[in-house]
Structure 1
Amino acid sequence: MTTVAPVDGVGPLLRNWRERRRVSQLELALRADSSARHISYVETGRSRPSEEMVLRLAEHLDVPMRDRNALLVAAGYAPRYTETPLDAPAMGALRQGIEQLLSGYDPYPALVVDGRYDVVAANRGVTALLDGVAAHLLAPPLNAMRLTLHPDGLAPRIRNLREWRAHLLAQMERDLAPARSQPLRALYEEVAAYPAPAGPEDAAEGAEEGLGAGCPAAYRALALPMRLEHDGRVLTFVSSIATFNTPMDVTVAELAIETLLPADPETAAYLRSR
């Protein structure tokens, strides 16, 4: 994904981010030690913000690093943050750390995705769950959204697909920022067009298998579980996502480590037995 400057300048982009964050001009001005009038002038193109002001506003609007570069370019400045390929020699220590982290989660599934939800690393716990997934979905680059929601992927085996699908689509919608909307929007429209589950879902399913009985109700108030059929069983997971703290590179900023933690003792015991 590349940084593209819109022809309308930085004002509409900043206004879009402010509205997405549901922050008023006055509130943003107070946060950024500015004035509501100046924020208004910037958004309407009557005033050109300094490079420092662009970065300050981006900070207070929690704008992702790639989109901060886009704001700078739109304002007429050079991008501030580099984008180093993950396979570059300079990323060697990071790759090694990721591999150690994923190995440490075995036998529980863990994977790393980039800003397009492409899988850049995964442990054996993930590959074990991919039995039966169509070959065309396993061809690189693997995409986590396609693997999960495609009818030839995990979707037919997810017992609470309607809930899990809604959760993933909402997550993608939150990531549809202006500067990188084109590739992500294409992916969103693709996976949103996959067949949606028909009929009600039974959150109490699983008791007859002896696995995860009562677990969905126990976790529902805390986190949405994913209930996945596998090898004649129903495994129940809760998902945890971690990112790198204070990244200074776009590639690092967009990496997300997702772990699927067992939501009941039966799922944990089964994974350890493998």
Structure 2
Amino acid sequence: MTEVGGFAQELRRWRTVRRWSQLDLALRAGTTQRHLSYIEQGRSRPGRAIVLRLAESLELTLRERNSLLLTAGYAPVFAESRLDDPELAPVREAIDRVLEGHLPYPALVVRPYGELVAANTAIGVLTEGAAAHLLAPPVNVVRLALHPDGLARRVENLSEWGRHVIEGLNAQALRSPDDRLDAFIAELRDYVPPMPYGPGHIGFAVPLRLRCEEGELRLITTLTSFATVVDVTLAELRLEAFLPADGESARILRLRAER
């Protein structure tokens, strides 16, 4: 397959994933439907600028933008650093400060698929009692959360909260189709019990209700990304911070930190 043909096929695939017409994408990318049609038919070789504009308009991740550039015959433009590279030392320091600043509440940083990168000391409330095989590096915090030998055994509302976690991954899979992610979601579904949809059902976005030795914690989560970076590694990091949903949960977490 030629570079032009490969790019045309990949562009059509992404446009189909987004469920956009050629006109929709052309308007978003600041070009004409006629030009886009020629590109998708392989009749016009796109320049690097229009490839990047189309990738941005399609809301692709930096990794996906690099891949699209390659199919068009251009070198990737977004670097992919290692977290232990010296030039990322200021970023690592900033991450550590954010995690420490969130104490006494748990917070962690993960890579795609839930691989743990860093966490603060309050994370112990989420890992205590978990089987050793779930805590062996590299730790996958999503598997740890839903596995019967992990956090799940202490989650009072596993059906609702577990489905909330899985729905978040489903949304990611819709935006960025990935066979590996599909297989991971299928694994997680087996860990979460079915939930009857009775009259009291209010959806999956509910606080985590977690048993600990001091009582029951009710925790809500916030997700933060490095939205303005131009490095693939940093763009894929996610900060997940847990916050108490009531005064008693805040009190318990403060007491644990003091100990």
- Pair 113,203 (structure 1): closer, same or farther in 2 beyond 3 Å: farther
Q: Is the 8 A contact 2:108 2:118 kept in 1?
A: yes
Q: Please state whether the residue corresponding to 1:151 is helix, strand or coil.
A: coil
- Pair 178,22 (structure 1): closer, same or farther in 2 beyond 3 Å: closer
Q: 1:82 aligns with which of 79, 83, 92?
A: 79
Structure 2 residue runs of 5 or longer lacking an equivalent are: none
TM-score by length of 1: 0.83
- Pair 261,149 (structure 1): closer, same or farther in 2 beyond 3 Å: same
Structure 1 residue runs of 5 or longer lacking an equivalent are: 1-5, 205-216
Cα deviation for residue 172 of structure 1 reads 1.9
Q: Is the 8 A contact 1:18 1:61 kept in 2?
A: yes
Residue in structure 2 matched with residue 230 of structure 1 by the alignment = 212
Q: Work out whether 1:247 is the aligned partner of 2:229.
A: yes
Query: 1 CA distance for matches of 2:43 and 2:187?
Result: 39
- Pair 15,23 (structure 1): closer, same or farther in 2 beyond 3 Å: same
Equivalences, count: 254
Cα deviation for residue 237 of structure 1 reads 1.1
Residue in structure 2 matched with residue 143 of structure 1 by the alignment = 140
State the one-letter code of the partner of 1:136. H
Cα deviation for residue 162 of structure 1 reads 1.8
Q: 2:53 aligns with which of 51, 56, 71?
A: 56
Cα deviation for residue 180 of structure 1 reads 7.5
State the one-letter code of the partner of 2:191. P
- Pair 149,59 (structure 1): closer, same or farther in 2 beyond 3 Å: same
Cα deviation for residue 201 of structure 1 reads 8.9
- Pair 236,29 (structure 1): closer, same or farther in 2 beyond 3 Å: same
Q: 1:191 aligns with which of 188, 193, 207?
A: 188
Query: 1 CA distance for matches of 2:213 and 2:221?
Result: 21
Q: Work out whether 1:116 is the aligned partner of 2:113.
A: yes
- Pair 195,114 (structure 1): closer, same or farther in 2 beyond 3 Å: closer
Moved more, 171-180 or 262-271: 171-180
Q: Please state whether the residue corresponding to 1:79 is helix, strand or coil.
A: coil
- Pair 199,73 (structure 1): closer, same or farther in 2 beyond 3 Å: closer
- Pair 158,254 (structure 1): closer, same or farther in 2 beyond 3 Å: same
Q: Deviations over 1:130-167 (max 9, x none)?
A: 11111000000011211111111112222222222222
Q: 2:24 aligns with which of 24, 27, 32?
A: 27
- Pair 203,130 (structure 1): closer, same or farther in 2 beyond 3 Å: farther
Cα deviation for residue 184 of structure 1 reads 2.8
Cα-Cα RMSD: 2.8
Query: 2 CA distance for matches of 1:189 and 1:25?
Result: 33
Moved more, 10-19 or 30-39: 10-19
Q: Please state whether the residue corresponding to 1:128 is helix, strand or coil.
A: helix
- Pair 202,41 (structure 1): closer, same or farther in 2 beyond 3 Å: same
Q: Work out whether 1:104 is the aligned partner of 2:86.
A: no
Q: Is the 8 A contact 2:160 2:195 kept in 1?
A: no
State the one-letter code of the partner of 1:252. L
Moved more, 44-53 or 7-16: 7-16
